[in-house]
Chain A
Amino acid sequence: MTRRERRERERAAEAAARARSEGAAGSARQPPPSPTPTSPAQSASTPSAPPPAQSAPPRPTQPSPPAQSPSPEAAPGWGAPQAWGAPQQPQRSRPVIRPAERTTARVGSGPSHQPGGRQPIGSQPTGGHPTAAQPASGRQTFLSPPTDQPTRTQPAAGATQALPVTAASAAASAHGGGAKRTNRKRQVEYEPLGPVRGTIRAFGELCITAGLILILFVVWQLWWTDIAANKDNEVLADQLITEWRDNPANELPDDPDTPYVAEPVDENSGFGIMYVPRFGEDYYRTVAEGVSLEPVLNRMGVGRYPSSAMPGEVGNFAIAGHRVTYGKPLNQIHQLRPGDEIVVQTSDGFYTYTFRNFEIVLPDATEVLAAVPTLPEYKGKDRIMTLTACNPMFSARERYIAYAELTDWTPAGDGAPDSIADTSAYDKVGGDA
């Protein structure tokens, strides 16, 4: 296998060298204006004994025997002197010829270069050495620099395994090369980077990290806040229901048509549960006091504007809620249709508001919170509910305002109104109140 490869390679090398030397000889003869037009080949080949003109004739007949002979080392002996005729050009074709030449050169220079003394490849064709090395005595001085360099760089691996010394030859052992590669990789890994490359790499890693953190933030904002807020909402609703169960019976007002109005609770604490069947069968959100982001709007569902009325009170019961993220309590506020019911459950009972209309205003339109919305100078006599949310989703450019009016009131002891009594939300949260 290896011999065949080498033979093929040598054949190719010979052909290449032959073509080159012929071309070089032709080109050298062509310029006659040189001082000695008759002997350009001699002047070019002075370092070597045989002029190319003499070595050229035997070429066509000779190359076949080395290819058939068992010793491939004879081939470079033929190929090299031919290439020697044109000293400038062989450098380019050398990589092709080198593997075979190197073994001969090393043998000629002595076994002192080989640590193990073993010559796995070079030892096979020893028969060809003396004859091949002697005519190339002048060539060795030329070849020695390129051949010695690889042996100098490889002794580390060659010392452990005598094989890779001739690694340049075609039959270099595969596992020797593999070991070398892992060693090199390990060295590179611990090689410190320069200040410039290190800075660039650190900067790049920081950029990647920042990108990942931004992605994580988006995931957290859009996905995790909903989960966390819904969980908090559930806990708070359970808490409220438990509290209400322990409450003493309400002292209801004399007039059953006049809803009971509770006193405002402390800020940042929940006091009600809101059901909106239009938002879904299982929709409910707790209502807390205050409109600060933390903790009310971010964790406690919707928040009541402290300046506004309480549920059932004459005036405007105004609440605010996120339309996106944090459980998005008012996400579907735009789905409300006139006549849709919004039920607010407190410890005292169920306040049923009926949606009337909506409008979209700028963020500073606080008049929507007035007792008579948009007309702050009037006192009003209706029991209004106002829901506010940001309008384009994921934006704070405008506000979506939904108005509702109190249409029904049920004391806690009478149970939930029909609109929510059968919903899964009420079954889940307030059913056992």
Chain B
Amino acid sequence: MYALLWRVLPGPWIVKFLICLVLIAATVYVLMEYVFPVIADYMPFNDATVEEGG
């Protein structure tokens, strides 16, 4: 998986490395901005600081 990614990326290793960093940063950003907030609503420890009949 990662070996394939490394092979697909163009350029010398430093360019690949920088592209990888950008990809990692983008992944982390997407996860933290969009994915985790959606998941967090289903987490049991967040679920119910409120208690309306729940």
Contact = CB atoms under 8 A, between A and B. Distances in A.
* A, B in one complex: yes
Interface of A: 190, 201-202, 205-206, 213, 216-217, 220-221, 224-225, 291, 293-294, 297-298, 303, 305, 307, 320-326, 330, 361, 363-366, 368, 388-390, 394-396, 399
B53 A325 contact: no
B52 A305 contact: yes
19 contacts: A202-B1, A213-B31, A217-B31, A217-B39, A220-B36, A293-B41, A294-B37, A305-B50, A320-B51, A325-B45, A364-B51, A364-B54, A388-B50, A390-B48, A390-B49, A395-B45, A396-B44, A396-B46, A396-B47
A377 B1 CA distance: 64
Contacts of A220: 31-32, 36
Contact of A399 (B1, B3, B36, B51): B51
Dominant SS among interface residues on chain B: loop
A291 B32 contact: no
B2 interface: yes
A396 B53 CA distance: 13
A322 B40 CA distance: 13
Contacts, number: 77
B48 A221 contact: no
B54 to A, nearest CB: 6
Interface residues of B, number: 24
Nearest to B36: A220
A305 B50 CA distance: 9
A104 to B, nearest CB: 46
A388 B50 CA distance: 7
Contacts of A330: 49
Given A216-B31, A216-B32, A388 B45 contact: no
Nearest to A368: B51
Interface of B: 1-3, 7, 28, 31-32, 36-37, 39-41, 43-54
A363 B36 contact: no
B16 to A, nearest CB: 13
Contacts of A201: 1, 3
A150 to B, nearest CB: 32
B46 A291 contact: no
Given A221-B36, A221-B40, A298-B37, A303 B50 contact: yes
Contacts of A363: 48, 51, 54
A298 B3 CA distance: 39
A364 B54 CA distance: 5
Contacts of B7: 190
A1 B28 CA distance: 58
7 closest Cβ contacts across the A-B interface? Answer: A320-B50, A396-B48, A291-B50, A205-B1, A363-B51, A394-B45, A390-B49
A321 B49 contact: yes
Given A216-B28, A221-B40, A297 B49 contact: yes
* Residue with the highest number of chain A CB atoms closer than 10 Å, among B2, B37, B48, B54: B48
A220 B1 CA distance: 26
A396 B31 contact: no
Contacts of B54: 363-364
Contacts of B39: 217
A221 B45 CA distance: 11
B45 A364 contact: no
A338 to B, nearest CB: 23
Contact of A388 (B31, B32, B40, B51): B51
Contacts of A326: 46
Nearest to A297: B49
